[in-house]
C-alpha cells in the first residue's frame, strides 16, 4: 500500500516519538537520544556504533565527532550513512538512511561551547580511534591539554565538528503481536515523500 506525504510529516512523527522517549523515566530508558549509526569505509567495510543525537529538524539529524576518527574518515570518504533509534520501552523503532554533510562552523562552535569543560579537554586529548601506545598516554595527554588551556576558554579543535544526515528514507516500526509488526516507510521523492506500508 503506497501514497504520498508532505515533507514535514515524517519529521513530525519522529519528534512525537522522541518526546515520548524523553518522557520515559531514565531508570528505564537512560539515553533516549541514543541511536546506532552505520558507515561504510572506502574498502566497503561496514561499521556500526552508538551515538547521541544533538539536534533534529527538517534539514536532518545532527551529531558530532572527531573528523579523524574511524566514522569521520568513513563519512568524509563516503557520505552515505544510516541510523536506527530503538526505544524498547515504547516498542518503537525509526530507521533513517541518507546523505551526510558537515554542519557549519557556527553550529559546531556553539555546540562545543555548550559542552562541559572536561569534555572539551577530552576532544583535544583523544586521538580518537587510534591505538594507545602505552598505558597512561591518554591521561598524560589530558594533563597536557589541561595545562595548555589553564585560565582560558577551550576552543573547538579544528578536527572536531558535526555532521547532518539528510534523510532519503525513513521507516517507522511498531511492535505488534505474533511479530506482525507495523512498518511505514517514507521515501524522498522531490519535494514530498512517497509512503509505503511494508510487510513485517
Q: Which CATH number, 3.30.70.100, 3.40.50.1000, 2.30.110.10, 1.10.1040.10, labels domain 2-198?
A: 2.30.110.10
**137-148 and 117-125 helices cross at what angle (nearest 10)?**
120
Query: pTM of the entire structure?
Result: 0.94
Catalytic residue among 49, 80, 117, 179: 179
Domain boundaries, the chain: 2-198
Contact 177, 95 (CB under 8 A): no
Query: Which phi-psi region, left, alpha or beta, contains residue 60 (left: φ > 0; alpha: ψ -120 to 50)?
Result: left
Nearest to 167 by CA among 73, 53, 67: 53
| Residue pLDDT, tens place only, 147-181 | 999 999 999 999 999 999 999 999 999 999 999 99
Residue 2 has pLDDT above 90, yes or no: no
| 179 noted as active-site residue | yes
Rounded to the nearest 5 percent, the helix, strand and coil shares of the chain are 30, 40, 30
Q: Output the nine-digit C-alpha cell for 73.
A: 574518515
pLDDT band at 1 (very low <50, low <70, confident <90, very high): confident
What is the spatial distance between Cα 178 and Cα 24, in angstroms, rounded to a whole number? 25
Nearest to 53 by CA among 25, 106, 15: 15
Q: Where are the alpha helices (DSSP H) in the chain?
A: 9-23, 70-77, 105-114, 117-125, 137-148
| Residue pLDDT, tens place only, 183-193 | 999 999 999 99
Mean pLDDT on 116-120:
98
Amino acid at each position: 500500500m503506497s501514497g504520498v506525504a508532505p515533507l514535514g510529516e515524517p519529521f513530525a512523527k519522529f519528534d512525537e516519538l522522541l518526546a515520548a522517549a524523553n518522557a520515559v523515566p531514565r531508570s528505564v530508558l537512560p539515553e533516549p537520544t541514543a541511536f546506532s549509526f552505520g558507515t561504510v569505509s572506502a574498502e566497503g567495510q561496514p561499521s556500526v556504533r552508538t551515538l547521541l543525537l544533538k539536534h533534529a529538524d527538517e534539514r536532518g539529524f545532527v551529531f558530532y565527532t572527531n573528523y579523524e576518527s574511524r566514522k569521520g574518515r568513513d563519512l568524509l570518504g563516503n557520505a552515505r550513512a544510516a541510523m536506527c533509534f530503538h526505544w524498547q520501552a515504547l516498542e518503537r523503532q525509526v530507521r533513517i538512511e541518507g546523505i551526510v554533510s558537515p554542519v557549519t562552523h557556527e553550529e559546531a562552535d556553539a555546540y562545543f561551547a555548550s559542552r562541559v569543560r572536561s569534555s572539551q579537554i577530552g576532544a583535544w586529548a583523544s586521538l580518537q580511534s587510534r591505538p594507545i601506545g602505552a598505558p597512561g598516554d591518554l591521561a598524560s595527554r589530558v594533563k597536557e591539554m589541561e595545562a595548555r588551556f589553564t585560565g582560558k576558554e577551550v576552543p573547538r579543535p579544528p578536527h572536531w565538528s558535526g555532521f547532518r544526515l539528510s534523510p532519503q528514507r525513513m521507516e517507522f516500526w511498531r511492535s505488534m503481536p505474533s511479530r506482525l509488526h507495523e512498518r511505514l516507510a517514507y521515501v524522498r521523492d522531490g519535494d514530498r515523500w512517497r509512503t509505503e506500508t511494508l510487510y513485517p
